[in-house]
Amino acid sequence: MATKSTVRASVKHLQIDKNQSRMLIMTAFAAFFFAVMVVGGGALISQIKYQNKVISEKKKAVAQLRSNVQASSSLVSAYKAFVSTSQNVIGGNPQGTGTQDGDNAKIVLDALPSKYDFPALASSVEKMVSGQGMTIDGITGSDDELAQVEKQSSPTPEPIDMPIEIAATGNFNSASGLIDTLNRSIRPFQVQKVQVTGNQSAMSIRINANAYYQPAKNFNITKKVVK
């Protein structure tokens, strides 16, 4: 038969085993909980950093929007003052219909159209030549409309040249008048070459020049991906 001391020893061993099992379970649970906290905490910190970046970019966008709204008011006021002058920038009547007339906005658009249109340019030059009483022998150039389609708008537009060649016949005064008309034209012409043949009463003139157009400035609302 087992003695009392043996029974007591068995009970103690059993209690120790239970305690060790509890400690092992608690240690494993603590290790698991710590691992979850480390992984979850890292993901949480990463998410917080990302959200801070998003908030920062949104604040910048709001600040830019407010600045644009304020600038738009100033722009409207400046435009109204620009077009409401009693005389336009080339000395014409803003309300008139003559060649030098029109408000300043119209003058600017006539001087530097926003669309490529070679037929319209040729028609304008034809009126200049006919206005001097000259006979038109030819108005030629490269109608580059298809190639210019991609340049019709730009965030940073620059003037683009439109080469044109004018051939006409008249007298000395009409030929001189044509050159003077090109110089005074609302739409700028850069004369590259002038060839004159004949005499004072029967003179042929050939002019190689560049006219210009400037693509419209486009305004796009863009989206930014925050990483």
95-125 confidence digits (pLDDT tens): 888 777 888 888 888 888 888 888 889 998 9
CA dihedral 181, 94, 122, 125 (to 10 degrees): -10
Which tens digit of pLDDT belongs to each residue from 176-197? 999 998 988 888 899 999 999 9
Residue 40: predicted pLDDT = 58
pTM attached to this predicted model:
0.59
Cβ atoms of 150 and 74 closer than 8 Å: no
Residue 46: predicted pLDDT = 75
Cβ atoms of 205 and 190 closer than 8 Å: no
Closest CA to 207 of 227, 185, 178: 178
Residue 168: predicted pLDDT = 96
Distance from C-alpha of 64 to C-alpha of 216, rounded to nearest angstrom: 23
Distances (CA, A) of 134 to 16, 114, 157, 220: 122, 30, 36, 47
Of residues 41 and 72, more confidence is placed in: 72
Which tens digit of pLDDT belongs to each residue from 120-150? 899 989 999 999 999 999 999 877 777 676 6
Residue 100: predicted pLDDT = 76
Residue 2: predicted pLDDT = 47
Residue 188: predicted pLDDT = 87
Residue 129: predicted pLDDT = 93
3-class SS of residue 114: coil
What's the distance, CA 18 to chain centroid?
Answer: 76
Cβ atoms of 57 and 224 closer than 8 Å: yes
Closest CA to 217 of 168, 158, 131, 162: 158
DSSP label of 132: T
Whether the predicted pLDDT of 207 surpasses 90: yes
Confidence of residue 72 (pLDDT cuts 50, 70, 90): confident
Of residues 53 and 140, more confidence is placed in: 140
Residue 7: predicted pLDDT = 46
